[in-house]
Structure 1
Amino acid sequence: MYMCLDAVKKGFLAGYRPIIGVDGCHLKGDHGQQLLVAVGKDPNDNYFLIAVAAVEAETKDSWGWFLEMLLNDIGESRKCYINLLHGYIVFCTETINQGLMQIFQEALPTLEYRFCLRHLYANCKKAYGGGTVLRDLILSIAKATYVEEWERRMNQLKEINRDCYDKLFALDPKLWTKSHFTFLTKSDMLMNNISEAFNGRILEARHKPILTMFEWIRCYLMTRFAEKKKKEERYEGSVLPKPKKRLDIITVRAM
């Protein structure tokens, strides 16, 4: 079962940056299915649910079906949005889902995608051990904003942990580091926190039967949009709170 509300679709196409986090989570009922979600970011850096689907499992077929439905929805006016979908949209996903990776590499090779940095580090930690030194170095590599800095940090990783270096060097840097991201999306998002934030918010609904859960999500979105509209009407600033806070930090560091 798949759901993408018309108002949500129009809202995403009207003004949101073309970056979408995709993720799956377990449903808690007796049916034992999975919930696939596609989540964008609103202007205040909060999550903006685009579509959800209940499927039997996170397989190549289910992910392919979900992404096909999603792209058909947000690209309904395909003549107008063909460049958006096949040149500008970026998907952010965890690194361990092989079915989803196969879809991106085989069925949708023109779409850009990125790995979630948190999942990437978790995989490295599991394989090669953790520690603050390795963690901070991997984070600094991913956050490097120019190629020379990325190369310098990678050389440091090579001296500390050669196996981890080989694993990360084998990955296309366009998938996980700012220094190689394209400029088309105007977003340097490294982690898929928006999807996981939504999954956590609907935890109580994930225990319900499928139809009841979808109705709960629909009502939750209606209430959320109404509350945000009221807050926006009362807000007097020219820059929304979260971006302003981040901008203030950058301003102080630049002094």
Structure 2
Amino acid sequence: MLVISTNPGSVVRVKGELEQDGKSTRFVRVFYTLKAVIKGFKEGCRPFIGLDGCFLKTEYKGQLLSAVERDANNSFFPIAWAVVEIENKETWNWFMDQLLDALGMDGNAITWISDRQKGLLDVFHNLLPNAEHRFCVRHIYDNFKKKHPGSKLKYLLWEASEAYTLIDFEKAMNKIIKVSKEAYEWLDKLSAGH
């Protein structure tokens, strides 16, 4: 494989399934990360990884799963990516197994951020029960604004999300409850269900 021969230490894992004829193999999914990326993450980045998936709008369809970081210049630093057949618990579990193996790190020592994709939540619960796993505020806000619209609540939600201390977070949450008890309860339920 060209990636392995030109980038020794890189990880490429391909999963296939035997066709019904028993003779040929059908492509199912592939995982990639490069040696230089793994080294860069370990030596130059904080232990903080964002996970996401998106649709591939090609003839073959599928989903692209990715793990990214922010580097010292606050630029995106792609760590690993995979093409899978669908975004669900099985494919996220496979992706996370490949990623943790490639990094050679305890995933519980990493802070993870993602959307609230159900399959991924189950993977964290089973595979990394002691890891810090948080949710992307943009995804939270997309759901929040449907029931709690308005620029004031939007501003206060972002203020709470950017709090560096528990005291600052509680102050921001108290501002939310003064504007809308229902919005406060929605956010409180969200954090309790984490």
Q: 2:75 is matched with which residue: 16, 33, 46?
A: 46
Q: Tell me the TM-score normalised to structure 1 length.
A: 0.61
Runs (5+) with no aligned partner, structure 1? 76-80, 176-255
From the two aligned structures, give the one with the greater helix fraction.
1
1:107 corresponds in structure 2 to 127
The 3-state SS of whatever aligns with 2:73 is coil
Aligned partners of 2:168, 2:76: CA distance in 1, in Å?
A: 31
Please report how far the alpha carbon of residue 71 of structure 1 lies from its aligned counterpart in structure 2 after TM superposition.
0.5
1:183 corresponds in structure 2 to none
Question: Can you list the C-alpha shifts for 1:122-180, whole angstroms capped at 9, x where unaligned?
Answer: 11012x1321101001111112222223222212212322222112112338x7xxxxx
2:114 corresponds in structure 1 to 93
Aligned letter for 2:46? R
Deviates more, 1:151-160 or 1:54-63: 151-160
Q: 1:73 is matched with which residue: 81, 99, 102?
A: 102
The 3-state SS of whatever aligns with 1:2 is strand
Change (3 A) 1:11 1:148: closer
Q: 1:60 is matched with which residue: 84, 89, 96?
A: 89
The 3-state SS of whatever aligns with 1:172 is helix
1:170 corresponds in structure 2 to 189
Q: 2:173 is matched with which residue: 136, 141, 154?
A: 154
From the two aligned structures, give the one with the greater strand fraction.
2
Structure with bigger RCO (C-alpha 8 Å, 6+ apart): 1
Deviates more, 1:39-48 or 1:59-68: 39-48
Q: Tell me the TM-score normalised to structure 2 length.
A: 0.78
Change (3 A) 1:144 1:42: closer
The 3-state SS of whatever aligns with 1:110 is coil
CA RMSD of aligned residues (A): 1.6
Aligned partners of 1:154, 1:74: CA distance in 2, in Å?
A: 37
Aligned partners of 2:58, 2:176: CA distance in 1, in Å?
A: 44
Aligned partners of 2:135, 2:167: CA distance in 1, in Å?
A: 21
